[in-house]
Structure 1
Amino acid sequence: MTHKDKALSLFSQGFHCSQAVLGAFAEELGMSDELALSVSGSFGGGMRNGEVCGACTGALMAIGLKYRFFKADDIGSKEKNNAVTSVFLRRFKEKNGSFLCRELLGYDLSDPKQQAEAREKGMFTEFCPKMVASAVETAEELMNE
């Protein structure tokens, strides 16, 4: 199963976009599915406030695991991680017009009325899977360069 297929499968099962994307990369990055789904569980819907798209945060978590920066004095790893993060966000924005959930969806998910309207319009079932796929594809490109 490809990363994209796994992410879309997880999303269709009811996991958040952030969980679907990180979950798609978990095994190869040395993380259990349970841990990946748990740690990324609070980032869907732009942290429930329409901020950075959860698919992007899931992808950035995967990128962080790939380009590990965990020692404060490891400037090389820090710079690599920062550079790849910036490139990911730029490419995602070029492909999709934004990396902010509320701009992508056209709804502010912090407003219960707008969230309900987005749900009624099928945004979470029709539009969000496209963002999950785009985030996975963009992360995969960078992680394979």
Structure 2
Amino acid sequence: MKPRPTKEEITQFFANGGNCCQCTLARFSEKTGYDVDETNRIARCFGGGMMMGEVCGGVTGGLMAIGLTVEDPAKAHELGEQFEEAFRAKFGTTLCRDLLGVDVGTDEGYAEASESGKLLDFCPIPVLGAMEILEQMLEDY
């Protein structure tokens, strides 16, 4: 598998219009059998907590990676639960609006997160955390 992107590379991906879910899922494209263009289309509407400030795109992208990589449904569900628990243990929540401290599901909240730099400065951190957790979980797949 290719090396994990740096925080700066993720920030640049975001600055070029990519989102947290796309970035996370693309990291595991080789394991899923999809190329990065395909994973970017799959994850297009899941950034920013599914565009509503809900579940972080790092989490939804991670769950997509598990589902596309692990063929056994029961094992995929088990790993999905473990992944969510590990992410919550690391960051205290899986919700985008709680991670950011602002609800990007509203126009005002999105503007605040953008203008303050939170989207580019903070969001790569949970994405990297999700990738780190998943790399260990999916090592044998």
* TM-score of the aligned structures, taking structure 2 as reference length: 0.89
Answer whether contact 1:50 1:108 (CA < 8 A) is retained. yes
Which residue of 1 is the match for residue 25 of structure 2? 22
User: For residue 73 of structure 1, what is the aligned residue in structure 2?
Assistant: none
Deviations 1:51-99 (A, max 9, x none): 110111111111111112xxxxxxxx22211110000000000000101
Work out whether 1:107 is the aligned partner of 2:102: yes
Q: Distance in 1 between the 2:135 and 2:94 partners?
A: 17
Q: Is the 8 A contact 2:113 2:119 kept in 1?
A: yes
Q: Is the 8 A contact 1:4 1:137 kept in 2?
A: no
1-structure distance, mates of 2:4, 2:68? 15
CA change 1:130–1:87 in 2 (3 A) is same
CA distance in 1, matches of 2:107, 2:36: 30
Q: Which runs of 4+ in 1 moved over 2 A?
A: 3-14
Residues 1:33 and 2:28 are matched in the alignment = no
Q: Identity across aligned pairs (percent)?
A: 37
Q: Which has the larger radius of gyration?
A: 1
Q: Report SS of the residue matched to 2:5.
A: helix
Q: Which runs of 5+ in 2 are unaligned?
A: none
What RMSD in Å do the two structures reach over aligned CA positions?
A: 1.8
Structure 1 residues 2 and 13 mapped into 2: Cα distance closer, same or farther (>3 Å)?
farther
